[in-house]
Structure 1
Amino acid sequence: MFAEVANYANDAAAVEKSLRLLQAFVQIAAGTTSSATDAKTWNMARGQFALARRYLRLFKWIDFSQASTATWTSSPPSPRRILATAKNMLLAIYFFMEMFCITNAMGITTSSFLTALQHHALQVWFLAISTSLVLTTYDYLSQNTESAILASNLVLDCCDILIPGSAVGWIAVDSVTVGIASSISSVIAGQQIWVRVQKEAKEKEMRKKEKSMRKVRFDKGTKVSEEEREGLSEKIGKEEASNGVVDGSVKALANAVGDGNGGVKKRSKKA
């Protein structure tokens, strides 16, 4: 269990959703408290959680830009390809615009231009979620995805759309409702990330085990080869030693025969 929690905590998206859930909780607390001092404290905590999330998604627009390109180039021509590409592209534009507003969020600047840019970025986010809702409806009608996944995505989008919609004034809801919707969507998204992270961890562990097994087999094969080489060398040494003895015996016999022939020749001369 601790390993699974560690896997989840080491994922940037999981950390961002966890902070989002905490932000939703303090937003609900700020909207329900009757004390102005407590409301100020909760709103301060909410701002800090929101700022921490901004750091984690500062360059998120790159991921969605790549996703939009991959969706457009890898999918066959269809309405779904258009919707999926439009969704990813709008999210890329939203995060790209939001990136420039980080100094206002940090309190370093108070630029009215960046405030307006943040407002327009939220409008783009609203359009992206709206496109996602249309895409989910299309998948449901076409039965391209499992019903459980479609239901989760539908609830997720319906909750998320309240956040930018209320911020830009297109949906009239109070902060408590937005906090509740944000907490629900954070739990759903966190569950999806949990499944993905644990799956990736298991696949990584399997690859690690396979690599270890290949290494063991390689080491065993190398050891066998070395033993075979040692046995072969020992066998060759014995054969060479045996050949040396035989060669020595042959040479001795040849010398003896030679000496005998020499003696015969000498006796022949005397005769």
Structure 2
Amino acid sequence: MTESNIAVNVSQFVGNAAGLEKTLRLLQSISQVVGANLLPAAAAPWLRARAQFALGRRYLRFLKFIDAFSLAFETLSSRSGVVAFLEFGKWSCLGMFLLLESCTILDAMGVYRTSWTSWLFVEAIKFWFYSLCFGILRAIYELWNLSWAGTSHSKEAEGGSGKVARKVALDEDSGRRQRTLQRQIAMKKLVIEGCDLFTPGAVTGWLVVSSGNVGMLCLVSTVFAGADVWDEILGT
């Protein structure tokens, strides 16, 4: 890939709303990590930059709670059982987080200060924490199902004979590749949401972790999630 192609791809990525959000999140994470490892005077501009990157991301997700609630109710009509419960919990809690956070946007902009904004923002962050917990449980449940599916298919292959055994073996090979891909996707989701969990956990005080470590974990999750967004936008 030439330098011009790289520049065009980066431009397309940043020009997309999802790509821009991930770019700002990456810059926010880097600013937080650097600021957390400097003396207060030297850290001040980095922390101001972090706050501005965070505010920019809030503009991009303003009213996004509508999409989250839509996905939550769509889950009820398209899925059932444990998966439906976990998916509904994830998206409905994310919707509540985005809704409550949207109510504090004027205060974050410095346009209209209120006495209840700090309290409401923490309550919003709690719903983000709950959403990530549901997402983590969903990934674990998927990995558990994939492990059981592999065991049952192996037993079928062992029990057959002749043409039946060969057909089962071919199906098993195809199924194994598909399960491997699904397992990789589930593992990536687990890593991303596991790293993200420390951000709301630190804000609420439910998880004791330093600002620098939160920034590093956020950086890791952003790289993994950003890679998926990159592939989706550029079609690679």
TM range (shorter): 0.7 to 0.9
Q: Which letter does structure 1 place at the counterpart of 2:73?
A: T
State yes or no: 1:184 paired with 2:220.
yes
Once the two structures are TM-superposed, the CA of residue 6 in structure 1 deviates from its matched residue by 3.2
Of 29, 41, 46, 2:50 maps to: 46
Between the aligned partners of 1:122 and 1:3, the Cα distance in structure 2 is: 36
User: What's 2:60 paired with?
Assistant: 56
Which residue does 2:111 correspond to in 1? 108
Counterpart for residue 143 of structure 2 = 140
Matches within 5 A, 1:64-83: 64-75=68-79, 77-83=80-86
2:58 aligned with 1:22, yes or no? no
1:88 positional shift = 0.6
2:190 equivalent to 1:154: yes
Kindly provide the amino acid, as one letter, of the partner of residue 14 in structure 2.
Answer: A
Structure 2 residue 95 is the aligned partner of structure 1 residue 92 = yes
Q: Secondary structure at the match of 2:116?
A: helix
Give the corresponding residue for 2:203.
Answer: 167
Query: Mapping of 1:200-219 within 5 angstroms?
Result: none
Unaligned 5+ residue runs, structure 2? 147-178
In the superposition, the TM-score normalised over structure 2's length comes to 0.80
* 1:196-237 superposed Cα distances (whole Å, 9 cap, x missing partner): 1122xx8xxxxxxxxxxxxxxxxxxxxxxxxxxxxxxxxxxx
Measure the CA separation in 2 of the matches of 1:15 and 1:184. 17
Corresponding residue to 2:132 among 120, 129, 132: 129
Distance 2:89 2:232 in 1: 24
Q: Comparing both chains, which one has the higher relative contact order based on Cα–Cα distances under 8 Å and sequence gaps of 6 or more?
A: 2
Deviations 1:112-136 (A, max 9, x none): 2121110100011101101111011
Deviation >2 Å, runs of 4+: 1-7
CA distance in structure 1 between the aligned counterparts of 2:76 and 2:8, rounded to whole angstroms:
37
Is residue 61–residue 95 contact of structure 1 (8 Å, CA) maintained in 2? yes
For 2:24 and 2:195, how far apart are their aligned partners in 1?
17
Residue type matched to 2:201 in 1? G
**Cα distance in structure 2, aligned partners of 1:12 and 1:87:** 22
Q: Is the 8 A contact 1:21 1:183 kept in 2?
A: yes
Name the stretch that deviates more: 111-120 or 173-182.
111-120
In 1, Cα distance between equivalents of 2:101 and 2:227? 26
Larger Cα-atom Rg? 1
- Secondary structure, in 3 states, of the residue corresponding to 2:207? coil
AA aligned opposite 1:17: K
CA contact (8 A) 1:104 1:115 kept: no
Using the alignment, how far apart are the partners of 1:29 and 1:4 within structure 2?
27
Instruction: For residues 141-168 of structure 1, give each alpha carbon's deviation from its aligned partner in whole angstroms, at most 9, with x where no partner exists.
Output: 1127711111111110111000000001
Map of 1:207 onto structure 2 = none
The CA deviation at 1:104 is 1.4
Letter in 2 for 1:179: G
Asked whether the equivalents of residues 139 and 150 of structure 1 are also in contact (C-alpha less than 8 Å), the reply is: yes
Q: Which amino acid aligns with 2:30?
A: F
Residues paired across the two proteins, number:
198
Q: Given that residues 14 and 23 in structure 2 are in contact (C-alpha distance below 8 angstroms), is that contact kept between their aligned partners in structure 1?
A: no
TM-score normalized with structure 1 length: 0.70
Whole-angstrom CA distance in 2 between matches of 1:114 and 1:160:
23
